[in-house]
Structure 1
Amino acid sequence: MRSLPRGGCAGRFEGVLERDDVEVEGVPVAVLRMAHGPVNAMDLELCRALADRFRELVADPARAVVVTGSDRAFSAGVDLKRCAAGGDPYVEKFIPALVDAFRAAFELPKPLVAAVNGHAIAGGCVLAACADVVLMAEGAARIGVPEIRVGVPFPRIVLEILGVAVGDRAARELVMGARTYLPERAVQLGLVHEIVPAGELGARAAAEAAALARDVPPDTFATTKGQLRRVALERTDRYADEEEPVTTLWKRHIADGWVTRYLESVTGR
């Protein structure tokens, strides 16, 4: 594996989402690294950067993509403090941006591998689930979707992504159980395909992405991936009327203090 010059437009996402390019046995792979604070919390800026970058990659020379985190987290999920501080105006902008980021990742017609280097909670778990292959580093990091304990429901596309990733039964367990899991249990649930030594995670993810791109013609891969995800996307569009009540509940439980109390319960403050 050798490094290539950094992909274009890096300046727009600097400090939020970084890109590096590597070549694995002749296959160019784009590596997207979230670099947004200590836990890569998903706020308006990160969601917009993810959506823009994934859509740009559709026509990019890179034949496969890896998405990963930095420091001790893949992503700890939605920046709830920012939502609480911003109130209704922020939430009304944030939820469409979150949905857009997930959809752009889920629709990417190229091989996408998630290299889960640390905690992947709520939105971080969903972003990983958008990938074709999920590799997670050995250790005590956790992955899962405790969103309903936060007091807010998922947008429809999240339920569809999880259903594609793990099947309907496991998706129900993940969503309604609202727990997070160590890597070994995440493999049993189908959230993670393989556990990898932390020091090997980046190279393994790039190699896996390159293999997917090398072994199947790009147009055949894109068409087949689209077929597998078509029904989920059609249901997302069909139930678009859910977006308004979802947003209403986010705003209600931010205003009534439920979200803040949840934050205090998990942070001890």
Structure 2
Amino acid sequence: MIEVTDHNGVAILSLSHGPVNALDLEILTELPNVLAQVADARAVVLTGAGRCFSAGVDLKRIIDGGAGYAQEFIPALSTAAFAWFTHPKPTVAAVNGHALAGGCVLAAAADVTLMSGGTIGLTELAAGVPFPTVPLEIMRHASAAVSSLVLTAKTISPADAAAIGLVDRAVIPEDLMTVALGQAEKLATVAAEVYALSKKQLQQPAVQRIESLRALDDPAVIEIWSAESTRDFLVEFMASLGRK
């Protein structure tokens, strides 16, 4: 589900999970394990195999899995996003296509985010589900435009995302991995302990908010994601996508 290759000491992680790299329990459980396996890499680049970076949560699995699946899924999503966000080595997201909902969170959680195509946005509210604490605080850390992105559920182009600081740079598709690897190499020239400490210092407010809010907020989030009314809404939401 996550393909790992090495490029001169830089680990390239490619999400390879179906046609749109949808996020389900299995791939989210795998991501922290893979990050631990590449702990000695000089830097890490995350990209998507195929035409998408990640189209977000696999809503069909949420519908089919019922309350029990949702109750496992939300903690796994939070754990995976937090592991990527706080990985001590330099991280670069090479966003090669649509990055929606949870895919947007993974893109924004990198130290540097490059995007070459598709659209990006936080579509959770359009699907009728709230944010867990970890993804929301990652987005608050990453972008000053988070309120507009969350509450409107709009999706935007790479150029528009760069204009509001959601991504660092829009690049043409054929240059994406070259630029991403070059950026990773550049970040990796900083002494590892200096980089890790500086990253930890920058992320400290977000991490503190996560630690103080997660135990209070996430039970309410899980309750809504697990509710029968949410399942009914998701069924209609998925049907509406098929009618477009």
- TM-score, with normalisation over the residues of structure 2? 0.96
Judge conservation of contact 1:253–1:259 (CA < 8 Å) in 2.
no
Q: Which amino acid aligns with 1:42?
A: L
Q: 2:132 matched to 1:158? A: no
Query: Unaligned stretches of 5+ in structure 1?
Result: 1-15
Specify which of 111, 126, 130 is matched with residue 132 of structure 1.
111
Aligned to 2:187: 212
The alpha carbon displacement at 1:91 in A equals: 0.6
Judge conservation of contact 1:183–1:195 (CA < 8 Å) in 2.
yes
Q: Deviations over 1:127-158 (max 9, x none)?
A: 01110111111x4x100001011111000111
Judge conservation of contact 2:25–2:76 (CA < 8 Å) in 1.
yes
Judge conservation of contact 2:43–2:89 (CA < 8 Å) in 1.
yes
Match of 1:239, SS state, is helix
Q: 2:234 matched to 1:234? A: no
Query: Unaligned stretches of 5+ in structure 2?
Result: none
Specify which of 17, 35, 42 is matched with residue 63 of structure 1.
42
* Separation of aligned partners in 2, 1:256 and 1:47: 21
Residues 37/256 of structure 1: CA separation in 2 closer, same or farther (3 Å cut) = closer
Q: Which amino acid aligns with 1:21?
A: D
Match of 1:88, SS state, is helix
Match of 2:61, SS state, is helix
Q: Between Structure 1 and Structure 2, how many residues are aligned?
A: 243
Which aligned runs of 4 or more in structure 1 are off by greater than 2 angstroms? 55-58, 253-256
Aligned to 2:14: 33
Residues 109/260 of structure 1: CA separation in 2 closer, same or farther (3 Å cut) = same
Aligned sequence identity (%)? 44
* Separation of aligned partners in 2, 1:94 and 1:164: 23
Trace 1:135-146 onto structure 2 (pairs within 5 A): 135-137=114-116, 139=117, 141-146=118-123
Q: Deviations over 1:7-64 (max 9, x none)?
A: xxxxxxxxx00000001xxxx1000000000000000111011121123333x2x110
Judge conservation of contact 1:106–1:161 (CA < 8 Å) in 2.
yes
* Separation of aligned partners in 2, 1:108 and 1:43: 21
Match of 1:205, SS state, is helix
Q: Which amino acid aligns with 1:47?
A: L
The alpha carbon displacement at 1:191 in A equals: 1.1
- TM-score, with normalisation over the residues of structure 1? 0.88
* Separation of aligned partners in 1, 2:243 and 2:222: 27
Specify which of 106, 110, 113 is matched with residue 92 of structure 2.
113
The alpha carbon displacement at 1:267 in A equals: 2.4
Aligned to 2:35: 54
